[in-house]
Amino acid sequence: MSEHVVVGSGQVGAHLARKLLERGHEVTVVTRSGSGPAGARKVAADVADKAKLTEITRGADVLYNCVNPKYHRWLTDWPPMAESFLAAAEATGAVLVILGNLYPYGPVAGPMTEDLPLASDTPKARVRARIWEDALAAHRAGRIRTTEVRGSDYFGPGATDQSYLGDRFLVPLRAGRTIRLPWPADVPHSWTYLPDVADAMIVAGGDERAWGRPWHVPTAEPLTFRQVGERMAVILGSPAPRLAQLPWPLVRVAGLVSPMIGELPHIRYQFTAPYVLDSSAFQDTFGVAPTPIDQALKVTLDG
């Protein structure tokens, strides 16, 4: 049994904390509100408070960064929190496992692998890239031990309303109504299953082979929105769903009043061309495969 500090109890942090508890570990969950699953020690704290996060992390084997500020607040919220994680990891010796994403790669041709440069020059992508670059520099200097785990768009039980395969997709699917999308319905896209993200973070935190580099979460073969809907319909025993793309000018207008929708132009490239994650490095190194897609879709529907 070892001691783990999970910062954030959202769609990944909640799965991670529960899985660690199921394996018999001591788990502390840190959030602003003091929430977390039963069985965990729950602490309310400001993650940007270096001294407080260091105090909470003392004695821990692994520190997990699962926080996720609102997308339109990345530029202001991420830097002080990232500095706090580095300070806590350096002061306590806990392995720092960072939940990353694919934004820093920017538009790419072909499947994404971990050796791609973090080439995007958009401000929000650069903020995310800087988190990993600073952590890696500290690792190489011998100040901390760290790794970053990156997945594509999440789906599964506990997915937030920001998930494209969450309620905005599932509610009309179940009701037999047309599913309206801001993106084309027939472009291949990688979807990463939330329990697989948590499993990958646990592996990365406990295996020294993972430290000092990023990893892609084991992710099934890409599917279009239409293919996902058709597979879900088979599971439900219902007709294939109807999908319709919202006119892009309408999406842009909606973005004038909604900060989240207003950010969609920055990620449009991820849905208008194939967006494929290659997770073979993690799978081959650690012998971990993604959850079979139809099994994952069934659990998502059951949830």
Read off the pLDDT band of 247 (50, 70, 90): confident
Give one word for 134, left, alpha or beta, with left for phi > 0 and alpha for psi -120 to 50. alpha
Average pLDDT over residues 240-264: 80
**pLDDT of residue 138 exceeding 90:** yes
Domain count for the chain, please give it.
2
CA 303 to chain centroid, in Å, comes to 19
Q: What is the pLDDT of residue 26?
A: 98
pLDDT by residue (tens digit) across 6-22? Answer: 999 999 999 999 999 99
pLDDT by residue (tens digit) across 148-179? Answer: 999 999 999 999 888 999 999 999 999 999 99
pTM over 0.85: yes
- Judge if 94 and 131 occupy the same domain: yes
- Judge if 125 and 241 occupy the same domain: no
Q: What is the pLDDT of residue 262?
A: 75
Average pLDDT over residues 106-116: 96
CA angle 257, 274, 127 (to 5 degrees): 55
Q: What is the pLDDT of residue 263?
A: 75
**pLDDT of residue 251 exceeding 70:** no
**Per the structure block, which two tokens stand in for 229?**
């809907």
- Judge if 27 and 94 occupy the same domain: yes
Task: Give whole-number Cα distances, 232 to 6, 165, 201, in Å.
Answer: 32, 11, 27
- Judge if 141 and 247 occupy the same domain: no
| Consecutive H or E run containing 175 | helix 167-175
Q: What is the domain extent for residue 36?
A: 3-152+193-216
**pLDDT of residue 254 exceeding 80:** no
Q: Kindly report the CATH number assigned to the domain that includes residue 147.
A: 3.40.50.720
**Per the structure block, which two tokens stand in for 276?**
């494929």
- Judge if 175 and 139 occupy the same domain: no
- Judge if 89 and 172 occupy the same domain: no
- Judge if 59 and 142 occupy the same domain: yes
- Judge if 42 and 67 occupy the same domain: yes
Buried b (16+ CB within 10 A) or exposed e, 245-276: eeeeeebeeebeeeeeebebeebeebbeebbb
More confident residue, 1 or 99: 99
Read off the pLDDT band of 102 (50, 70, 90): very high
Classify residue 1 by burial, with Cβ atoms within 10 Å: 0-12, 13-18, 19+.
exposed
**Per the structure block, which two tokens stand in for 293?**
């897609």
- Judge if 164 and 91 occupy the same domain: no
Read off the pLDDT band of 256 (50, 70, 90): low
Rounded to the nearest integer, the mean pLDDT of the chain is 95
**pLDDT of residue 31 exceeding 90:** yes
Strands 62-65 and 3-7: parallel
Torsion angle of C-alpha atoms 83, 86, 90, 94, degrees rounded to 10: 140
More confident residue, 255 or 160: 160
Q: Kindly report the CATH number assigned to the domain that includes residue 274.
A: 3.90.25
- Judge if 26 and 95 occupy the same domain: yes
- Judge if 45 and 59 occupy the same domain: yes
**pLDDT of residue 181 exceeding 80:** yes
- Judge if 45 and 89 occupy the same domain: yes
Average pLDDT over residues 116-140: 96
